Structure 1
Amino acid sequence: MTEINQLIKISKFLQRLAYFLFVFIWGEIIFYFTNYSSPGELFYKEYGANGISLYLGSILVLIIILSAQSKRISDIAYRIKKTK
Structure 2
Amino acid sequence: MLGKLREDYQPIPLPPRRSHAAVDASEVDAVPSPALRLQQQIARSVATIPEEKWSPRASVALIVSVSLALWLAIVVVSVELIGPVFA
Query: TM-score, with normalisation over the residues of structure 1?
Result: 0.37
Task: Kindly name which structure, 1 or 2, has the bigger radius of gyration based on alpha carbons.
Answer: 2
Q: Which structure would you say has the larger RCO, counting Cα contacts within 8 Å and 6 or more residues apart?
A: 1
- Compare the two structures and name the one with the higher helix fraction: 1
